[in-house]
């Protein structure tokens, strides 16, 4: 059975052109970039060319880019690196209540070292409350880490306003741009952020490659110690194939992002319209406009998201309840709860996240199957009263 994949916020298939770009570095050009012979020079050049491509894509300078193993590492590096390097100044960090676990667990870990964390709440559409952010700032606040776009509900945060608040108070700002990158163009110099994390596998590159942008002059400790790679900022033999891949990935994104946006958005709107027309007792989560164009988070009343996911899976349709990283747990999504929706509605939510390989036929098929699945589950559900 051909699967219908509607879980692009969890991960994406590798674009064939990206796959081709990696291949030489897995066998023929396998040399360690740190080796002294001529053959390694070419590998070093590939890494530096890729760094330039990424830097250009986000409006940074080459020296502000380091390669990591993905979003989680970049985020850990940014938050722990700043925390430990600036703890003399203060031990207070501000984040939001809807961050990815990469941020939340890192902050939780830092509490063991005496850091204090403030979690800024969001409104019912998932936007961080800026007045609460201003009020939360203390003399000992060293870092604000608030995401650019949420993986579950798609809400895009007012990054510039957050940075203004950070700058006014002389506080560093890191943003988790894992979901934004490759979907919406941005320029770090316009956003004025100090640190930014991104990950390849969210935009048609392989898993295990990411980038941390560190604004020139920002002092932070490395996360991984060892050799002298990445100008001593991130030790470990470089993932050359991954680095070549992410550079190809951003080249493709740069050329094709705008066109993809139109197609993906219209497919999402089609799905939304069909759901509204065919299924009663539903509500949408997240911001209606300040949102990732590919993400549709829906609460289906009286039933569990897990049962919907399972029945869709039987039909070869792959979606998510909450974020992919906690789909093993039956805890209601912390993101949905933070927007103030009832626990029972959070449990009945499904995230559809679309990508460039989805087609109108697939959306038609999902729109045809979904109403029957929901009807069937509601018939069996003890939650439905009438």
Question: Interface with ligand PLP includes 154 (CB under 6 A)?
Answer: no
State phi, psi for 85 to the nearest 5 degrees. Answer: -80, -20
Query: Rounded distance, CA 150 to CA 140, Å?
Result: 27
Query: Rounded distance, CA 121 to CA 126, Å?
Result: 9
User: At its nearest, how many Å lie between ligand PLP and the CB of residue 178?
Assistant: 4
Other C-beta atoms within 10 Å of 161: how many?
12
Question: Interface with ligand PLP includes 157 (CB under 6 A)?
Answer: no
Query: Which of the ranges 55-63, 176-184, 284-292, 326-334 carries the binding residues for ligand PLP, by CB under 6 A?
Result: 176-184
Question: Interface with ligand PLP includes 95 (CB under 6 A)?
Answer: no
Site for ligand PLP in 106-125 (CB under 6 A): none
Site for ligand PLP in 324-363 (CB under 6 A): 324-325
Query: Which of the ranges 44-52, 156-164, 171-179, 336-344 carries the binding residues for ligand PLP, by CB under 6 A?
Result: 171-179
Query: Rounded distance, CA 379 to CA 207, Å?
Result: 40
Taking the least distance from each CB to ligand PLP, the nearer of 103 and 374 is: 103
Q: Which residues contact 302 (CB under 8 A, 6 or more apart)?
A: 281, 348, 378, 381, 383, 384
Query: Rounded distance, CA 246 to CA 298, Å?
Result: 32
Query: Which of the ranges 64-72, 106-114, 164-172, 326-334 carries the binding residues for ligand PLP, by CB under 6 A?
Result: 64-72
Query: Which of the ranges 19-27, 67-75, 159-167, 311-319 carries the binding residues for ligand PLP, by CB under 6 A?
Result: 67-75
Question: Among candidates 143, 250, 125, 272, which has minimal Cα distance to 199?
Answer: 250
Question: Interface with ligand PLP includes 78 (CB under 6 A)?
Answer: no
**Of residues 325, 337, 344, 383, which has the active-site annotation?**
325
Question: Interface with ligand PLP includes 102 (CB under 6 A)?
Answer: yes
User: At its nearest, how many Å lie between ligand PLP and the CB of residue 381?
Assistant: 30
Question: Interface with ligand PLP includes 151 (CB under 6 A)?
Answer: yes
Query: Which of the ranges 37-45, 65-73, 272-280, 345-353 carries the binding residues for ligand PLP, by CB under 6 A?
Result: 65-73
User: At its nearest, how many Å lie between ligand PLP and the CB of residue 361?
Assistant: 28
Taking the least distance from each CB to ligand PLP, the nearer of 136 and 325 is: 325
- What distances in angstroms separate CA 23 from CA 26, 280, 340, 356, one per listed residue? 5, 49, 47, 23
Binding ligand PLP by CB under 6 A: which of 93, 120, 178, 188?
Answer: 178
Binding ligand PLP by CB under 6 A: which of 22, 51, 55, 71?
Answer: 71
- Classify each residue of 326-347 as buried b or exposed e, where b means 16 or more C-beta atoms within 10 Å of its C-beta: bbeeeebbbbbbbbebeeebbb
Taking the least distance from each CB to ligand PLP, the nearer of 100 and 334 is: 100
State phi, psi for 199 to the nearest 5 degrees. Answer: -140, 135
Question: Interface with ligand PLP includes 182 (CB under 6 A)?
Answer: no
Taking the least distance from each CB to ligand PLP, the nearer of 21 and 72 is: 72
The HSE-up count of residue 245 (CA atoms within 13 Å, CB side) is 31
Question: Interface with ligand PLP includes 70 (CB under 6 A)?
Answer: yes
DSSP state of 124: T
E strands, the chain, are 4-5, 65-68, 92-96, 116-120, 141-145, 172-176, 195-199, 210-214, 282-285, 295-300, 317-318, 349-353
- What distances in angstroms separate CA 63 from CA 174, 236, 333, one per listed residue? 18, 18, 38
User: At its nearest, how many Å lie between ligand PLP and the CB of residue 52?
Assistant: 22
Size of the site for ligand PLP (CB under 6 A): 15
Q: Decide if 325 is catalytic.
A: yes
> Helix (H, G, I), strand (E, B), or coil: what is residue 104?
helix
Q: Which two tokens stand for residue 379?
A: 């018939």
Residues lying near ligand PLP in the complex (CB under 6 A): 70-72, 100, 102, 147, 151, 176, 178-179, 199, 201, 210, 324-325
């Amino acid at each position: 059975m051909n699967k219908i994949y509607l879980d692009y916020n969890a991960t994406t298939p590798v674009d064939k052109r990206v796959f081709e770009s990696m291949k030489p570095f897995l066998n023929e050009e396998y040399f360690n970039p740190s080796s002294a012979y001529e053959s390694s020079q070419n590998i070093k050049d590939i890494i530096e060319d890729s760094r330039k491509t990424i830097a250009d894509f986000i409006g940074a300078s080459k020296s502000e880019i380091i390669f990591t193993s993905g979003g989680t590492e970049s985020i850990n590096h940014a938050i722990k690196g700043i925390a430990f390097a600036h703890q003399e100044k203060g031990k207070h960090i501000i984040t939001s209540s809807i961050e990815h676990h990469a941020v939340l667990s890192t902050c939780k870990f830092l509490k063991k070292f005496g850091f204090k964390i403030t979690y800024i709440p969001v409104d019912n559409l998932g936007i961080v409350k800026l007045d609460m952010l201003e009020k939360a700032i203390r003399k000992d606040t060293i870092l604000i880490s608030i995401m650019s776009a949420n993986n579950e509900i798609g809400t895009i945060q007012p990054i510039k306003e957050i940075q203004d608040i950070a700058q006014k108070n002389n506080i560093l700002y890191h943003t988790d741009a894992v979901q934004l990158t490759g979907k919406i163009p941005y320029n770090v110099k316009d956003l004025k952020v100090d640190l930014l994390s991104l990950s390849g596998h969210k935009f048609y590159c392989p898993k295990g490659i990411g980038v941390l942008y560190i604004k020139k002059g920002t002092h932070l400790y490395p996360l991984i110690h060892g050799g002298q790679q990445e100008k001593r900022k991130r030790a470990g033999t470089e993932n050359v194939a991954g680095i070549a891949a992410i550079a190809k990935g951003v080249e493709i994104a740069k050329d094709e992002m705008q066109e993809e946006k139109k197609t993906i958005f219209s497919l999402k709107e089609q799905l939304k319209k069909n759901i509204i027309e065919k299924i009663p007792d539903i509500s949408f989560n997240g911001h209606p406009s300040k949102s990732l164009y590919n993400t549709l988070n829906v609460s289906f009343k009286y039933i569990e998201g897990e049962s919907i996911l399972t029945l869709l899976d039987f039909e070869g349709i792959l979606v998510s309840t909450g974020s992919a990283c906690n789909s093993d747990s039956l805890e209601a999504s912390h993101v949905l709860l933070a927007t103030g929706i009832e626990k029972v509605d959070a449990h009945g939510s499904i995230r559809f996240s679309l990508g460039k390989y989805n087609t109108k036929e697939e959306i038609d098929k999902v729109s045809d199957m979904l109403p029957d699945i929901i009807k069937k589950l509601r018939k069996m559900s003890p939650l439905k009263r009438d």
